[in-house]
A and B are shown apart, each in its own frame.
Chain A
Amino acid sequence: MVKEFNILITGVGGQGVILMSELLGKAAVADGLRVRGSEILGMAVRGGSVTSAIRIGDEVYGPLIPTSKCNALVGMEPSEALRNITYLSKSSLVILNTAVTAPFTVFIGESSYPSLGEILEKLGKASGRIVQLDAAKTAQTAGSLLATNIVMLGALFGTGQLPIKIATIKETVESHFPAKLAPVNIKAFDLGYEACQQALG
């Protein structure tokens, strides 16, 4: 029995955050688990910040992760991971895509983007462990930049902490994509998985 396992996916509109949570939710249901989650749509989709929570377990009721109760934070973009720092605690794991997507406000001098070092320092203070990877590069190795989110999904499973079976999530990924695109995405998943396992040693 799983009591409570909370996953927060953070990123920017267009990075496939919502698809990741859909795949996680479907796989969890296929494994007979209870799932709750929530996301922000609407104004936030168009280039703005996006967050999506997936909560698995028998003692989960609300759609949102309570402050500090995130088990795994999947950061598709460094500053967006930092924006959600209050969800973390010393028992949280952060899987961070280090590729930066700066908003145009940075280019016109209306705001500034922190250095990766600053981001890692703050996240490090708040969490237990950070796994960094260049998911975009890994996705290109797999065959498509569009599979960046699936690389990150693989990395999330590479932590070995998820209550969902790896075979189930892979089946879910495979059946989501048309036959032509499925192999690239499975490869992306595997590469992400391996990268995380390597990083964790």
Chain B
Amino acid sequence: MKELTISSDAPGQRLFVLGNEAIARGAIEAGVQIAAAYPGTPSSEITETLARVAKELDMYVEWSTNEKVAFEIALAASICGVRALASMKHVGVNVAHDPLMTASYIGAKGGLVLLSADDPWAWSSQNEQDNRYIAEQGYIPVLEPSSVQEAKDMMVDAFKLSEQFRQLFMFRSVTRIGHARADTTLGEISRERRKGQFVKDRTWLDYTPREARINKPLMLERFEKIKKAVNILPYNQLKLADGAKLGIIACGLSYSYALEAVNWLGIEDRVSMLKIGTPHPLPEELVLKLLTSVKEALVAEELDPFVELHVKAIAGEYNIPVKIHGKDLLPRIGELSTRKITEAIAQLAKAKTPVDFASIDKLEQETAPLLPWRPPALCPGCPHRASHYAIRVASRKVARDYGKEIEPIYPGDIGCYALGYNPPQEASDTIICMGASFGIANGLAHVIDAPIVAHLGDSTFFHAGMPPLVNAVYNKANITMVIMDNSATAMTGFQPHPGTGYTAMGDETVMLKPEEIARACGVKFVEVVDPFNLKEATETIEKAIRFEGPAVVVSRRLCAIIEQREKKKRKEAIVPYRIDPEKCNVKCNACIELLGCPALIKEGTKTVIDSSLCNGCGLCAQVCPYKAIVLE
């Protein structure tokens, strides 16, 4: 029997999948033809999954240089009548915001879905913004699933709805949908493949002020139709309990927690439930039915009180005497949980909680001081560790010429190297958004008299690093820009990018070189170094910092994980280093304190190298003052 996979046309069969694979499957079943994205946790696996089966299923899938471009690619396909998906993490939508706000005036011809992967608790993000507000700003309807299965089903319908209402839809996922796993029942795969047709229609597609004024009313009309239609969508469900005084309105994933909470409390027959699958626009008729049947209502949703405010507006407009709770009992920060909703409902229903949470909290508080601090660390053999070290040594040397108290400043960026914010690297002073390292450095140059050494990765450079680099040249910012080129978008799972020489679908392509781009942009100091040649890297970075005007150093070395995989393929052995106990000064600890490599461990007072972790980069051998670290 052929093994069941994500591309199997096997309706009714069950497959154990990651939420993001289920979302990809939904797009496959819908017959999506174009998928574009920039990697970002927790969204990346959607496009990875689609890219893997693109050729088999006759789809076009690409990793675009950034989210704005990705969204524009999907929009173009939709304009030509082809179904298209653009996927990105929540902050990626900020990058795509510009075309998005006008795209909603255009609407959709081929089904157009923007997937926004929100990240409550900012597990792998710089903030926990709630993108339902972005959707609201553009009158973009939002679909939000409560489970992995629903995510798959909803994605199929998202394309249909988009075409039915000629409007683009936002599909809002969260970390615990995209990175959840569940058994998922597959549906039929659409084999329809359309040929794109571009119809010249300036009134529809050429946005001068005239077109904005013509198309906004049309968009508002579409939105009104959607507002009515969401009342009968299966994703919004009202279950009224006879005589219930309490109603729960739960949006997206919160519905799953709310179901468990009500069961745990054993009060299923005493509460009415409204499941919300379209937070924007809300199913007003269903909300009204619930509000008029109860005395109190609790809105359960993650992050901001988006549904809550709209529910309150409906109650106010229709003058319904009901007390509406939400963020007074549930947090705006982080993820919700069965426990949090259980406690909120228990308070409103005046029910006893099923377990004594206070005693569990007490145990947790007693335990916390015992736990070791385990920050995520750069991998053994990671070239970023060497780049950070070289940057620190070089910049501190130059800083002494600026004055005794002067500290160099290290604007950092989004990627694995953000881990250099932890000790012992401590080489990332700001992390704000993609490309902001170079942008912030530009600004610092005009107000701070100290060496300013910004760094970002190769993928981030192509994404958002080029405009601030050009700006530094144009506006003469005296900064050093280090591009840590490890030939991968490593943090999100090693996706290819314009510098890697191949595409999402595995085709070979041109390999763009950051150093050539920097030179072409007019940077007069551009050097390429190997960070594992620590001496040369440090000296070159020092020269770059001393250079008057913007300088670029490309610190190039393949990502340690990719290198390890390639060595394995070539059947090449990884030769670890070891510490010669005769030469090692046990009091020194320099290797651990300077590098923090996970392979350097203590056995009693002795420092040893864990040969199962060491990848043989030799960085520790270069920093050891006693030359005690040698090859096995």
Contact = CB atoms under 8 A, between A and B. Distances in A.
Interface of A: 12-13, 21-22, 25-26, 28-29, 33-49, 54, 59-64, 66-68, 79-80, 82-83, 85-86, 89, 102-108, 110-114, 118-119, 122, 125-126, 145
B626 interface: no
Given A26-B16, A61-B147, A105-B375, A36 B601 contact: no
A110 B423 contact: yes
Contact of A38 (B180, B263, B366, B607): B180
Given A61-B260, A67-B355, A108-B423, A48 B337 contact: no
A46 B419 contact: yes
A108 B41 contact: no
Contacts of A125: 363
A38 B179 contact: yes
A140 to B, nearest CB: 11
B372 A105 contact: yes
A9 B593 CA distance: 31
A196 to B, nearest CB: 25
Contacts of A85: 363-364, 367
A41 B589 contact: no
Nearest to A37: B181
A132 B251 CA distance: 42
Contact of A62 (B179, B256, B600, B612): B256
B378 A46 contact: yes
B181 A21 contact: yes
Interface string B302-340: 000000000000000000000000000000000101110
A130 to B, nearest CB: 15
B264 interface: yes
Contact of A86 (B176, B363, B372, B601): B363
Interface residues of B, number: 63
Contact of B364 (A22, A86, A105): A86
Contacts, number: 186
B180 A43 contact: no
B92 interface: no
Interface in B378-418: 378-379, 416
Nearest to A77: B374
Interface in B84-112: none
A46 to B, nearest CB: 4
Q: Specify which of A40, A46, A105, A107 lies most central, judged by the most chain B CB atoms within 10 Å of its CB.
A: A46
16 contacts: A38-B179, A41-B41, A43-B124, A43-B419, A44-B376, A63-B253, A64-B335, A64-B338, A66-B342, A67-B337, A85-B367, A89-B355, A103-B372, A104-B597, A105-B423, A122-B363
A173 B534 CA distance: 44
Interface string B115-149: 00000000110000000000000000000000110
B409 to A, nearest CB: 24
Interface string B38-66: 00011000000000000000000000000
B370 interface: yes
A69 B179 CA distance: 21
B241 interface: no
Contact of A29 (B14, B378, B596): B14
A156 to B, nearest CB: 17
A37 B338 CA distance: 14
B123 A42 contact: yes
A102 to B, nearest CB: 6
Given A62-B338, A108-B592, A36 B372 contact: no
B265 to A, nearest CB: 12
Contacts of A34: 183
Given A112-B372, A126-B363, 10 more contacts: A22-B16, A33-B183, A44-B124, A61-B147, A66-B264, A86-B360, A105-B374, A107-B589, A113-B372, A122-B363
A104 B379 CA distance: 12
A38 B593 CA distance: 35
B616 interface: no
B601 A102 contact: yes
